[in-house]
Amino acid sequence: MIILGIETSCDETSASIVKEGSNGQCEILANIVHSQILEHTDYGGVVPEIAARSHIQNIDTVIEKSISESKIKLRDLDAIAVTSGPGLKGGLLVGVTFAQAMASVLKIPLLGINHLEGHALTIRMVKKIQFPYLLLLVTGGHTQLIIVKDVGDYEILGTTIDDALGEAYDKVSKSLNLGYPGGPIVERMAEKYSPSDIKFPRPLINSKDLNFSFSGLKTAVRREIENSKPIDNQKAYNICAEFQDSVIDVILSKLSLALNIFKNKYKISNVNIVIAGGVAANKKIFSSIEKISKDQKFNVFVAPQDLCTDNAAMIAWCGIERLRMKNIEISPVIVKPRWPLDKRAVTLRGAGVKA
């Protein structure tokens, strides 16, 4: 199978051509991403109207580049997979409308893909990870612990009840006037810390559930900044480091609880844990999880950095995974700004509503 993937859920306009290899593994023929970072930098976050306008201006060029780089013809495509949710409605409409037109002209199937499922299955593009596995999904809009049982079958163990982790990184960076996107900047700043008396809370670390909360932590950071003005470089380094340490402590605590639930449910001695989403590119978070993996008897995996952030290759691959399922029903593609992976999960307030 050769599939065109289209991704426009947030601030990347992306198109990718992905082929299913003879061994069932993924072969990426092209993966073009037009980033809108410069268009949103002045605002310290994504502005939906600007994002939608940029998608309109760039989607045809991005798709043309993906076709050209892959050296295929449009007639070679077996299907089109497009992100139809969750995400910003304006951006989703651009991608879905374009994909519908192409699929109609080419007379090939069109699959509406859940963006979060794209992240959940990305690791299977590069590793032969078998189901089930435990997923830590950390993006700009979502922070979740999920059991990935199979393609299309997910159980959410915990989610954010307010801010997502990627959003918290962005807001800490904005509070310190460091720039956008905040994740890579705060991570680099944290590497230059020196011992200090700064101490931030570890939200919900002692709760017995698996939900996350980063709103209070973000507020604590802002209060520390306001009480410490003027902020010199070393103070900024230390604030970033303590913020990141707080995040990691919470993640490790919740992950350990999720691991116990997973082991009790599946009686698997050597569990696979996958980290996915844009924040999965954070090396300190990955190394901290890897450090406890031997003692707690699990393997930890993360996709290559260019596949962690939003991209159309993961959407195309998700299309392949779905088409490989027998008796799959291809239904009309509609835009779903909020689209939970696990429809059985209890809906929570704030960011958790998205999931």
Q: How far apart are CA 304 and CA 281, in angstroms?
A: 8
According to CATH, the topology of domain 132-302 is Nucleotidyltransferase; domain 5 (3.30.420)
pLDDT of residue 353: 45
Give yes or no for residue 351 having a pLDDT over 60.
no
pLDDT of residue 349: 61
**Arithmetic mean of pLDDT, 49-55:** 96
* Cβ 314 vs Cβ 5: under 8 Å: yes
Q: How far apart are CA 324 and CA 148, in angstroms?
A: 17
pLDDT of residue 327: 64
pTM exceeding the 0.75 threshold for the entire prediction: yes
Phi, psi dihedrals of residue 33, rounded to the nearest 5°: -130, 120
**Arithmetic mean of pLDDT, 213-242:** 96
**Arithmetic mean of pLDDT, 237-257:** 98
Q: Predicted confidence band at 209 (pLDDT cuts at 50, 70, 90)? A: very high
According to CATH, the topology of domain 2-124+306-354 is Nucleotidyltransferase; domain 5 (3.30.420)
Give yes or no for residue 354 having a pLDDT over 50.
no
Domains of the chain, by residue range, sit at: 2-124+306-354, 132-302
Strands 143-150 and 133-138: antiparallel
Radius of gyration of the chain (CA): 20
Mean of all residue pLDDT scores within the chain: 94
- 132-302 matches 2-124+306-354 in CATH topology: yes
Q: How far apart are CA 86 and CA 92, in angstroms?
A: 8
pLDDT of residue 242: 98
Q: Predicted confidence band at 25 (pLDDT cuts at 50, 70, 90)? A: confident
Phi, psi dihedrals of residue 84, rounded to the nearest 5°: -115, 5
User: Tell me: the pLDDT tens digits for 112-165?
Assistant: 999 999 999 999 999 999 999 999 999 988 999 999 999 999 999 999 999 999
